[in-house]
Amino acid sequence: MKYPKNLLLRQVQDRVSLTCQVDPTGHAHGCHITDGHYMEFNQTALVFVEHAIFNPALQNGHPVKDDHYTLHINFRVK
Q: Which domains can be identified in the chain, with CATH numbers? A: 5-75 (3.30.1150.10)
pLDDT computed for residue 52 by the predictor = 94
pLDDT computed for residue 20 by the predictor = 95
pLDDT per position as a tens digit, 41-64: 999 999 999 999 999 889 999 988
pLDDT computed for residue 65 by the predictor = 82
SS3 of residue 4 by DSSP: coil
pLDDT per position as a tens digit, 29-41: 999 999 999 999 9
Q: Which residues lie below 8 Å from residue 3, measured CB to CB, with a gap of 6+? A: 44, 75, 77
Q: Which residues lie below 8 Å from residue 68, measured CB to CB, with a gap of 6+? A: 19, 20, 21, 22
SS3 of residue 55 by DSSP: coil
